[in-house]
Amino acid sequence: MAKFKINGGKPLAGSVRLGGAKNASFKLLIAACLQKTNNPVRLLNFSHIQDVEVTREIIESLGGETKAAGERTIFVNAKNLDKWQIPTKFGQKSRASSMFIPILLHRFGQAFVPFPGGDKIGSRPLDRHFQGLQAMGAKINQTEYGIELQADQLVGTEYNFEKNSHTGTETLIMAAVLAKGVTILNNAAQEPEVDDLIVFLNKMGAKITRTDTRQIQIEGVERLGPCIHKIMPDRNEAVSYACAALVTKGDVIVENAKPELLGAFLEHLERVKAGYEVGDYGIRFFYRQPLIATDMTTQIHPGFMTDWQPLWTVLMTQAQGVSTIHETIFPDRFQHVAGLVKFGADIEFVQPKVADPDQTYNFNLDESNKVEHQHCIKITGPNKFQPTSIDVYDLRSGATFALAALATTGESWLNKVELIDRGYEYFDQRLRSLGADIVRVE
Ligand code: EPU
């Protein structure tokens, strides 16, 4: 078990460069397996993160080849893919396995994927993915161990997502690119990682068009070929370093951060009077004056992203006044609250008034996700933190507690920090380069 020892209370300063987005990288590795020539796909700008490594292991377990070369390039050659079952051990390691379904169905007409693991942010059903795959002709059987699917030939269809699904949209795009005929996805996700996948697949020879704001049309093609693609920068990493700068009253440039990917975050920074400046170098985030409290609701893109919410919570503990945070995407994404209270945060759960719960919440409202469950917090700041020792339980809670520790004068300990490695490249080294006193102890 690895730990971080953090001696906080020091303003961060300097610059960091973002790596490739976690939530684009591993999906593009998977999508690269849709082509079967002997020429590899070349993907650039990879981050050295666990989710990428696990996806490479899965591809190799299926008979494909991946090779890292140079600083940030991965070659993928799926010509010799010869297995249609993903070993169950990969289920808990990553949420990637279900996204292999289209690849395995196109190649073998059948697939077995274990139930996906990943973050502990509430139940994460795949019903929207499955309904879409069924509409394209797949037969699905859920067993004790995972999901079995069968489809001799996927066929284009018109499918309406009842509610937004980011990876659901990506899974159906991958299913549709080699399906027979045209597929239209209505109420399709607009998250920027979806567009990175679309650009990549079109380079491989797919015919995918955004025909309306939330509509995607895919004309099935016979085959795809290799291409070279540079993965988009990670917008969650950008927000993490931005919040780290602001919470420590520092001044940090996030090189290659793209303002168009961070619109709702920048808008909220203006509301709370945090400093930021966009330049040809990226975005500079700096402390300007005491932050002021505000209300924030997580939303699908282009709204305020749910992944930024735990990091935003830390920022609001340092703002003057009462802030609220209303989580509408995941049913259970406030586990970081108990940890922050341990640091000294003044946070309580409140019941928001919601006129139309089914419209407001992106998760399915059923017995396990009742609207009366707690989806909103109230923070009364600013809070003075005291050092503490705390267990990380997932990727974003890890970054969140690291930020809290960086804002705290004295020595804090974060345990089980391997979970941060799933999505942050050299997190401690980068924070150290910005002046943080952080040491990794294995
Ligand atoms: N949902 C269903 N049924 C479905 C699909 C989704 O009930 O078939 C629910 C989910 O449980 C959730 C909500 O609908 O409550 C939204 O789910 P969505 O499918 O949009 O999210 P996702 O694809 O599972 C991706 C990212 C998340 C990110 C969200 C929102 C990846 C691998 N994951 O999840 O990132 O928070 O979109 O943008 O792309 C992370 O990086 O740690 C992470 C959790």
Residue 430 has pLDDT above 70, yes or no: yes
Q: Name the least confident of 116-130, 151-165, 343-357, 414-428.
A: 116-130
- Nearest atom, ligand 1, residue 236 CA: 41
Residue 74 has pLDDT above 60, yes or no: yes
Cα radius of gyration rounded to whole Å, the chain = 22
**C-alpha of residue 438 to centroid of ligand 1, in Å:** 31
Supply the pLDDT for residue 255. Answer: 95
**C-alpha of residue 300 to centroid of ligand 1, in Å:** 10
- pLDDT tens digits for range 245-254: 999 999 999 9
- Nearest atom, ligand 1, residue 396 CA: 42
Q: Residue 287 is which amino acid?
A: Y
The pick from 165, 190, 301 for probing ligand 1's pocket by mutation, whose C-beta has the most ligand atoms within 8 angstroms, reads 165
- Nearest atom, ligand 1, residue 364 CA: 7
- The protein residue whose alpha carbon is closest to atom 18 in ligand 1 is 165
Query: Would you say 125 and 53 are in contact if contact means Cβ atoms under 8 Å apart?
Result: no
Q: What is the token pair recorded at 205?
A: 């020879």
**C-alpha of residue 236 to centroid of ligand 1, in Å:** 14
**C-alpha of residue 310 to centroid of ligand 1, in Å:** 16
pTM, two decimal places: 0.96
The pick from 51, 166, 300, 369 for probing ligand 1's pocket by mutation, whose C-beta has the most ligand atoms within 8 angstroms, reads 166
Query: Would you say 20 and 51 are in contact if contact means Cβ atoms under 8 Å apart?
Result: no
pLDDT band at 59 (very low <50, low <70, confident <90, very high): very high
Residues in contact with ligand 1 by the CB-under-6-Å rule are 22-23, 95, 119, 124-129, 164-168, 191, 305-307, 329-331, 362-364, 395-396
How crowded is the C-beta side of 223, counted as CA atoms within 13 Å?
A: 6
Quote the DSSP letter at residue 320.
B
**C-alpha of residue 165 to centroid of ligand 1, in Å:** 6
- Alpha-carbon distances, residue 319 vs 132, 230, 265, 312, 342 (angstroms): 44, 38, 16, 11, 18
The pick from 22, 23, 123, 308 for probing ligand 1's pocket by mutation, whose C-beta has the most ligand atoms within 8 angstroms, reads 23
Supply the pLDDT for residue 115. Answer: 86
* Mean pLDDT of all residues belonging to the chain: 95
Query: Would you say 186 and 160 are in contact if contact means Cβ atoms under 8 Å apart?
Result: yes
- Nearest atom, ligand 1, residue 395 CA: 42
Quote the DSSP letter at residue 40.
P
Q: Among residues of the chain, what percentage have pLDDT more than 70?
A: 97
- Between 93 and 134, where is the model more confident? 134
Residue 121 has pLDDT above 60, yes or no: no
Residue 372 has pLDDT above 70, yes or no: no
Supply the pLDDT for residue 367. Answer: 65
- pLDDT tens digits for range 32-52: 999 999 999 999 999 889 889
Residue 82 has pLDDT above 90, yes or no: yes
User: Residue 276 — φ and ψ, nearest 5°?
Assistant: -150, 155
Residue 427 has pLDDT above 80, yes or no: yes
